[in-house]
Amino acid sequence: MDTSVLVLNQNYEPLNITNVRRAVVLLCMGKAEVVKDDTGYIRSIEQSFRIPSVVRLVYFVKRPVPELKLSRKSVLARDDYTCQYCGEKGSNLTLDHIIPRDRGGKTEWENLACCCLKCNNKKANRTPQEARMQLCRPPRKPKYVPYISFPKFVAATRNDDFHEFLSPYVKSLEHR
Ligand SMILES: [Zn+2]
């Protein structure tokens, strides 16, 4: 029952990732309809439901589009938890200021990259040019519209059922 369910606004804009229980409540209350489901059934005393994987609200929710906040988690998600210098994936990752902070490098999307500890030590207080290290791709602020938190969103794009609904919204993940 802890499967994720993607909640779409009436206009199919991604709104939220929730769990099956909460999605079923929306369906029971007539607030949402199933767009996609997996094969299972949930039995309740009176009814049985298909287990939804994507639901759509039957009414339009108007919410201000939140600003995408810069955070460690969001940068790691943008870079797919992969060192942008050597391509290593894993848990021993940190954030690299591409132009070091004490050399005037800012804490912004364009100056931060996911980096493994090894590369971080090797690069030390140098620019990539000085350290002769090259970034796999230019670091950009993701072009991102939905209301879901960015790391959650990136994880959700890997769900086959969600992919078609989410992929139009992230331009910077197109290289995948
Ligand atoms: Zn590395």
Give the residue among 52, 47, 60 at the shortest CA–CA distance from 21: 52
Q: If you average pLDDT over residues 109-116, what whole number do you get?
A: 97
**Integer Cα distance of 11 and 153 in angstroms:** 18
Instruction: Look at residue 135 in the predicted model and tell me its pLDDT.
Output: 96
| 50 Cα: distance to centroid of ligand 1 (angstroms) | 45
3-state secondary structure 107-156: CCHHHEEEEEHHHHHHHCCCCHHHHCCCCCCCCCCCCCCCCCCHHHHHHH
| 119 Cα: distance to centroid of ligand 1 (angstroms) | 4
Q: If you average pLDDT over residues 162-176, what whole number do you get?
A: 74
| 139 Cα: distance to centroid of ligand 1 (angstroms) | 15
Instruction: Look at residue 98 in the predicted model and tell me its pLDDT.
Output: 97
One of 3.40.800.10, 3.50.50.60, 1.10.30.50, 3.30.360.10 is the CATH number of 72-131, namely 1.10.30.50
pLDDT surpassing 60 at residue 174: no
Instruction: Look at residue 57 in the predicted model and tell me its pLDDT.
Output: 97
Task: Give pLDDT tens digits for 56-66.
Answer: 999 999 988 77
pLDDT surpassing 80 at residue 8: yes
pLDDT surpassing 60 at residue 77: yes
pLDDT surpassing 90 at residue 147: no
Instruction: Look at residue 2 in the predicted model and tell me its pLDDT.
Output: 59
Please report, for the chain, the start and end positions of each structural domain, with discontinuous segments joined by +: 4-65+145-169, 72-131
| 87 Cα: distance to centroid of ligand 1 (angstroms) | 6
3-state secondary structure of 17: strand
**Integer Cα distance of 99 and 61 in angstroms:** 42
Whether the CB-CB separation of 39 and 62 falls below 8 Å is answered with: no
Termini Cα distance of the chain: 29
| 90 Cα: distance to centroid of ligand 1 (angstroms) | 10
For the chain, give the mean pLDDT. Answer: 89
Task: Give pLDDT tens digits for 45-54.
Answer: 666 777 899 9
| 175 Cα: distance to centroid of ligand 1 (angstroms) | 19
Whether the CB-CB separation of 166 and 156 falls below 8 Å is answered with: yes
Residue 68 pLDDT grade (very low, low, confident, very high; cuts 50, 70, 90): confident
| 141 Cα: distance to centroid of ligand 1 (angstroms) | 21
Length of the chain measured in residues: 176
pLDDT surpassing 70 at residue 175: no
| 145 Cα: distance to centroid of ligand 1 (angstroms) | 30
Q: What is the pTM of this model?
A: 0.79
Task: Give pLDDT tens digits for 87-102.
Answer: 999 878 999 999 999 9
Instruction: Look at residue 176 in the predicted model and tell me its pLDDT.
Output: 46
| 164 Cα: distance to centroid of ligand 1 (angstroms) | 32
119 phi/psi in degrees, rounded to 5: -65, -35
